[in-house]
Amino acid sequence: MRKFLVTLLTFACLGFVKASETGFLMPVPQSVSWGQGFLQIDSSFAIVVEGVDSGRSSHAAARILARLSKETGIRFSPPPAKPNAGVLRIAVRNPAPLTPVLGIDESYSIAVNGQGAMLTAGNFFGVVHGLETFLQLLRLDSSGFNIPAVTIKDEPRFPWRGLLVDVCRHWIPMDVLKRTIDGMAAVKLNVLHWHLSEDQGFRIESKRFPRLHSFGSDGLYYSQDHR
């Protein structure tokens, strides 16, 4: 009995170690293999998009770099001239539709070592997921800000990963809604159910039937000028 309990405790500890190694990644990727060393994040770090790109991948990369700058306080320079400087290269294999559809390829892979990082994705949606994971890898230790050496392969377990936001009963300002969408992206959700109208409220401006929003919103509605 004592031997059984010791064995059970050993497996429990091993399980805890494994979970703690990936617990800061949300959701935990399908495959994570840690390496030795790290990629230094300093002012020379840059993100370069290669392959098929409609501009959306570059825009997503720019947003992540801005968030990285905000989190670290580092002002990043234009792409460095030195080939051995820290660079995250993004390779996009295929174009993507404007909006995601169920079953679309959302997979990505990340490889990080001391010389640089590579994010490979089938299309733009995989790029977005991979960038969020890359940002979650950021850490601060005695050497400064860095990304640990790691190889990650990931794809969603479920095709529909959604959130319902009911603004008919409880009004949510646009800036809060945008932060909510950023939070959804961070944990790789892909469907927003934005509940805008019912008998409890009508929260969207109607040019054709203006009394709908004027009488059904208490003055709290999203105008067509909202961005």
Check residue 32 and give left, alpha or beta (phi > 0: left; psi -120 to 50: alpha): beta
Whether the per-residue pLDDT at 15 is higher than 50: the answer is no
Q: What is the pTM of this model?
A: 0.84
Mean pLDDT to the nearest integer, 130-148 = 96
Under a CB-based contact definition with an 8 Å cutoff, are residues 72 and 176 in contact? no
Q: Which residues contact 159 (CB under 8 A, 6 or more apart)?
A: 102, 103
For residue range 35-48, what is the model confidence (pLDDT) as tens digits?
Answer: 999 999 999 999 99
Mean pLDDT to the nearest integer, 132-149 = 96
Whether the per-residue pLDDT at 82 is higher than 90: the answer is no
Domains annotated on the chain, with CATH: 25-154 (3.30.379.10), 162-216 (no CATH)
Task: Calculate what percentage of the chain has a pLDDT beyond 90.
Answer: 76
What's the mean pLDDT when you consider all of the chain? 88
Strands 201-202, 197-198: pairing kind: antiparallel
For residue range 123-132, what is the model confidence (pLDDT) as tens digits?
Answer: 999 999 999 9
As given in the structure block, the two tokens for residue 187 are: 């944990």
Query: What confidence score (pLDDT) does residue 77 get?
Result: 79
Query: What confidence score (pLDDT) does residue 14 get?
Result: 38
Please tell me the least confidently modeled range out of 12-21, 55-64, 191-200: 12-21
The rounded distance, in Å, linking the Cα atoms of 155 and 57 is: 18
The residue among 157 and 78 whose pLDDT is bigger is 157
Reported as a pLDDT band with limits 50, 70 and 90, residue 6 is very low
Mean pLDDT to the nearest integer, 81-88 = 69
69 burial (CB, 10 Å; 0-12 / 13-18 / 19+) is middle
DSSP per-residue codes, 84-113: TS-EEEEEE-S---SS--TT----EEEEE-
The rounded distance, in Å, linking the Cα atoms of 126 and 155 is: 8
The rounded distance, in Å, linking the Cα atoms of 57 and 59 is: 5
Query: What confidence score (pLDDT) does residue 99 get?
Result: 85
Residue type, 158: F
The rounded distance, in Å, linking the Cα atoms of 147 and 222 is: 40
For residue range 160-194, what is the model confidence (pLDDT) as tens digits?
Answer: 999 999 999 999 999 999 999 999 999 999 999 99
As given in the structure block, the two tokens for residue 120 are: 């490979």
Whether the per-residue pLDDT at 104 is higher than 60: the answer is yes
H or E element: which one contains 216? helix 210-216
Query: What confidence score (pLDDT) does residue 102 get?
Result: 87
Half-sphere exposure of 122 toward its Cβ, with a 13 Å CA cutoff?
Answer: 12
Beta bridge partners of 140: 145
